[in-house]
């Protein structure tokens, strides 16, 4: 096995972690879209559609968008620990 460059490892780990977050998001979004297309638009289902839409947005923000920033912060902290 060849030696792995530290920077390549960090980038690969970051990409795998973010892709994992996206994998969890895609089925959630797909089922949301299918339900919107199959529901008849009645007053009672608008509340659930709005609530589910808020959930989809929160899932994306928490599982995909914030995850990348959190990984960068954790990597910086880990490098500080290693250097000391």
| Percent of residues in the chain assigned helix, strand, coil, to nearest 5 | 90, 0, 10
Summarised one tens digit per residue, pLDDT across range 23-72 is: 777 888 888 888 878 776 666 677 778 888 888 888 888 777 787 777 77
Q: Is the pTM of this model over 0.95?
A: no
The predicted pLDDT at position 1 comes to: 46
User: What is the rounded average pLDDT of the residues 6-15?
Assistant: 77
Distance between CA atoms of residues 68 and 72, nearest Å = 6
pLDDT band at residue 18 under the 50/70/90 scheme:
confident
User: Given this model, what pLDDT does residue 41 score?
Assistant: 66
């Amino acid at each position: 096995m060849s030696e792995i460059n530290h920077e390549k490892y960090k980038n690969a780990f970051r990409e795998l972690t973010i892709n994992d977050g996206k994998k969890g998001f895609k089925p959630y979004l797909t089922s949301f879209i299918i339900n919107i297309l199959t529901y008849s638009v009645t007053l009672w289902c608008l509340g659930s559609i709005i609530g589910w839409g808020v959930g989809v947005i929160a899932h994306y923000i928490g599982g995909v968008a914030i995850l990348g920033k959190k990984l960068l912060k954790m990597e910086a902290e880990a490098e500080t620990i290693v250097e000391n």
